[in-house]
Amino acid sequence: MFGRPKTAPMDAARAAGTRLHRFDGGLRLRHHKKMSCEVPVQRAALPQRLYVPLLQHTGRAAEASVVTGQRVLKGDPIGCFRHLGSGCVHAPTSGTVSAVVKHPISHPSGREGLCIVIRPDGLDQWRQRQPIEHWAEAAPETLLERIRDSGIVGLGGAVFPTAFKVRDASQRGIHTLILNGSECEPYISCDEMLMREQPDAIVLGARILQRAVGAQRTVIAIEDQMGAVNQALGDAVRRAGAGNIDVVKVTTLYPEGGEKQLIQVLTGLEVPAGGRPADLGLLCQNVATATAVARAVTEDKPLVERIVTVTGNGVRRPRNLLAAIGTPIADLVELAGGYAPHAARLVLGGPMMGFPLASDANPVTKAANCVLVLTEQDIRPPQPELPCIRCGECARVCPARLLPQQLNRFIRSGNWEASEDHGLEDCIECGCCDFACPSHIPLVEWFRFGKSQLRSRAEDRRRADLARDRFEARGTRLERIKAERKRRIAEKKRALGDQRTMKDRIAASVERARQRKESAE
């Protein structure tokens, strides 16, 4: 209340997980996870067509590297990065490329993007694979290249290309790897099921990532209500004989699973504003990402499928499905028993941070952790939004200790300096303030808009500065050219000086001659 612990020394970071701390704000939400955890993860049958988007990660889209009619094997690269900031995309199964077209890509804007459409041939045949057998002796750079070439991105929802994150982190020196298994958003249970059913793969992924980044130990964070998971992971750690991997239970409070909040809980430290966890010597990865890394390194299987939780009161049999990337969501819903009556909204993600999809033709992407079908009772009726009554509930629940009521006012009135000053860039868009607001103001929508505006204003400023520099440089250049020209003309004038005097003399004589002629008339 009177002053909080500021960023403490590195020792606290090294001691991650030994003591649990608390983060500010947060909400205790009802889980709704049991409904989808009652049956094991089921492999989803391949659909008629797979629509694999070329943009499934933060950064620029990949470029198609296949053409219509081309035959591909499972794991063949079909989209390559043309720019350093993007990841690559692989064929989820063997078949033929039937088209490269624009199609909905499960993006929050609802827009379409370029997709590779593949018609599976039913054989599900892998391409030639080259596992890295002795990864424990391999150079970290080899492991990073394999991660990059396998198209692995952060599967917790941020879909940041993992290879870049890990390489950037290892350059700053990492001592502790944190595996994030605390899936805090209600309804989503894909990570929980993964941890229950494939704990060995997770532990293997942890050890590989540890080697790739040079960390000394790993902390796997799970929620304290995941009882079976604790047992499964503990056994897997024992089987692997890994003495430096600890499984830690954290309290179930939304948004515990956010990277910044998890680090605060495990270490009591705050990631510096504008900085990254690597500044504290920590690297945070989702457990599914770790599993993908394990598969990529030990089996040379790129990221072509993921577990998706299909749940909500709007599907008849909620469950977790192992789906190929590019599977239309409609197919997944079919496998989950089809739509229940009164299914009213289709959300990709959880009820707090997920975004609605207009159609179930949208495909499963690397970011799709949950397909949530809600009925009318589950969603807010479209009611008019009331003005802010400054109750302060939003500030009370904000994990970033922001003042959403102030940010709301500033953004609406276009006061960008004040909103930046009040920490708009530090908003993690968790939705706690939205949930708590009695006036039902769509705060996160406004903050997303505000952040976009700040970004585009920064971009405008950069362009303006560039234009100003170029204009001034041009002005200087033109001045210089003018001055040189003047100098040259002055030189020429001097050189022609005598000749001019000669001309005057001739002119003067001609004039005299003329006058003489006139006077003689």
Partner 1 sequence: MSRHFDTGAAPHFPPHATVGGVMRQVLYALAPGIAAHVWFFGTGVLFQILLATLFALGFEALALKARGRPVGVFLRDYSAVVTAVLFALCVPPLAPWWIAFTGMLFAIVFAKHLYGGLGGNLFNPAMVAYVVALVSFPQAMTAWIPTTDVAVHGLGPLDTLLTILGGRPVNDLGWDAVTGATALDAIRTAAASGQPIDAVRESSAFGQLAGRGWEWIAGWYLLGGAWLLYRRIISWQVPVAVIVTALLFSSITWLADPATFPSPVVDLLSGALVLGAFFIATDPVSGCTSDRGRLVFGAGVAILTLVIRRWGGYPDGVAFAVLLMNMAAPLIDRYTRPRIYGHG
Partner 2 sequence: MLAAVFSIAAIGILFGLGLGWAARRFRVESDPVIDRIDAILPQTQCGQCNYPGCRPYAEAIATGEAPINQCPPGGEAGIKALADLLGVDPLPLNPENGAEALPTVAVIDEATCIGCTLCIQACPVDAIVGAPKLMHTVIAAECTGCDLCLPPCPVDCIEMVPRPVPEEQWSWPEPAAAGGR
Residue 248 near residue 223 (C-beta atoms within 8 A): no
Residue 4 sits in the site that holds partner 1 (CB under 8 A): yes
Q: Which two tokens stand for residue 191?
A: 């990570």
- Which is nearest to 356 in space by CA: 184, 157, 183, 110? 110
Smallest separation (angstroms) from partner 1 to the CB of 91: 23
Q: Does 463 bind partner 2 (CB under 8 A)?
A: yes
- Residue 61 DSSP label: P
Which tokens sit at 14?
Answer: 């090294």
Residues 354-383 that bind partner 1 (CB under 8 A): 354-361, 372, 374, 377-380, 382-383
Residue 352 Cβ, how far from partner 2 at the closest point, in Å? 17
d(CA 384, CA 124): 51
152: left (phi over 0), alpha (psi -120 to 50) or beta: beta
Task: Give yes or no for residue 468 binding partner 2 (CB under 8 A).
Answer: yes
Q: Does 423 bind partner 1 (CB under 8 A)?
A: yes
Rounded to whole angstroms, the Cα distance separating 134 from 174 reads 22
The reply on whether position 334 binds partner 1 by CB under 8 A is: no
Q: For residues 473 and 489, which CB has a smaller minimum distance to partner 2 in the complex?
A: 473
Which among partner 2, partner 1, none contacts residue 453 (Cβ within 5 to 8 A by kind)? partner 2
**Partner whose footprint covers residue 465, from partner 1, partner 2, none (CB < 5 to 8 Å by kind):** partner 2
The smaller minimum CB distance to partner 1, of residues 90 and 103, is found at 103
DSSP type of residue 150? T
Q: Of partner 1, partner 2, none, which one sits near residue 190, judging by CB under 5 to 8 A according to partner kind?
A: none
User: With CB cut-offs between 5 and 8 Å by kind, which of partner 1, partner 2, none does residue 356 bind?
Assistant: partner 1
431 is a contact residue toward partner 1 (CB under 8 A): yes
Segment contacting partner 2 (CB under 8 A): 132-140, 152-160, 459-467, 484-492? Answer: 459-467
Cα dihedral 250, 251, 255, 257 in deg (nearest 10):
20
434 in contact with partner 1 (CB under 8 A) = yes
Question: Out of 38, 235, 445, 504, which residue is the one contacting partner 1 (CB under 8 A)?
Answer: 445
Sign of CA dihedral 64, 69, 70, 73: positive
Strand order, beta sheet including 112-120: 50-53, 112-120, 95-104, 71-72
- Residue 517 near which of partner 2, partner 1, none (CB within 5-8 Å, type-dependent): none
Contact call for residue 459 and partner 2 (CB under 8 A):
yes
**Does the protein bind partner 1 through residue 341 (CB under 8 A)?**
no
- The total number of residues written for the chain in this structure: 521
Distance CA 316, CA 312 (A): 9
Cα separation, 480 vs 229, in Å, equals 74
Query: By CB under 8 A, what part of segment 449-488 binds partner 1?
Result: none
Residue 370: closest CA among 89, 35, 48? 35
In the list partner 1, partner 2, none, the entry touching 342 (Cβ below 5 to 8 angstroms by class) is none
Q: How far is CA 234 from CA 19, 355, 454, in A?
A: 18, 35, 45
- Positions 405 through 424 that interact with partner 2 (CB under 8 A): 414
Rounded to the nearest angstrom, the gap between the alpha carbon of residue 367 and the centroid of all alpha carbons in its chain is 9
CB of 65 to partner 2, least distance (A): 18
Minimal distance, residue 283 CB to partner 2, in Å: 24
Q: Assess 135 for contact with partner 2 (CB under 8 A).
A: no
Least distance from partner 2 to the Cβ atom of residue 68, Å: 22
CB under 5 to 8 A by kind: which of partner 2, partner 1, none does 436 bind? partner 1
- Is there binding between residue 80 and partner 1 (CB under 8 A)? no
Binder of residue 374, out of partner 1, partner 2, none (CB less than 5 to 8 A by kind):
partner 1
Determine, following the binding rule CB under 8 A, whether residue 476 of this chain makes contact with partner 2. no
Give the separation between CA 262 and CA 283, rounded to whole angstroms.
Answer: 11
Closer to partner 2 by CB, 85 or 227: give it. Answer: 85
Instruction: Please choose which of partner 2, partner 1, none residue 400 contacts, taking the beta carbon within 5 to 8 angstroms, the exact cut-off set by kind.
Output: partner 1
Q: How far apart are CA 429 and CA 32, in angstroms?
A: 21
Sheet of 245-250: strand order equals: 245-250, 217-223, 176-181, 282-286
- Taking the C-alpha atoms of residue 42 and residue 136, their distance in angstroms, rounded to an integer, is 32
Indicate whether 347 belongs to the interface with partner 2 (CB under 8 A). no
Note whether 467 binds partner 2 by CB under 8 A.
Answer: yes
Q: How far apart are CA 114 and CA 102, in angstroms?
A: 4
> Which residues, numbered 425-444, are part of the site for partner 2 (CB under 8 A)?
441-442
| Interface with partner 2, residue 465, by CB under 8 A | yes
Residue with Cβ nearer partner 2 (61 or 237): 61
Q: How would you classify residue 117: left for phi > 0, otherwise alpha for psi between -120 and 50, otherwise beta?
A: beta
Judged by CB under 8 A, does residue 448 bind partner 2? yes
How far out from the chain centre does Cα 44 lie? 26
Tokens, residue 20: 């649990």
Q: Determine, following the binding rule CB under 8 A, whether residue 262 of this chain makes contact with partner 1.
A: no
Q: Tell me the window of 121-129, 301-309, 357-365, 385-393 that interacts with partner 2 (CB under 8 A).
A: 385-393
List the Cα angle 283/366/261 in 5-degree steps.
35
Neighbouring-strand partners of residue 52: 116
**Residues that bind partner 2 in the complex, under the rule CB under 8 A:** 55, 58-61, 85, 108-109, 111, 113, 383-387, 414, 441-442, 445-446, 448-449, 451-453, 455-456, 459-460, 463-468, 470-475
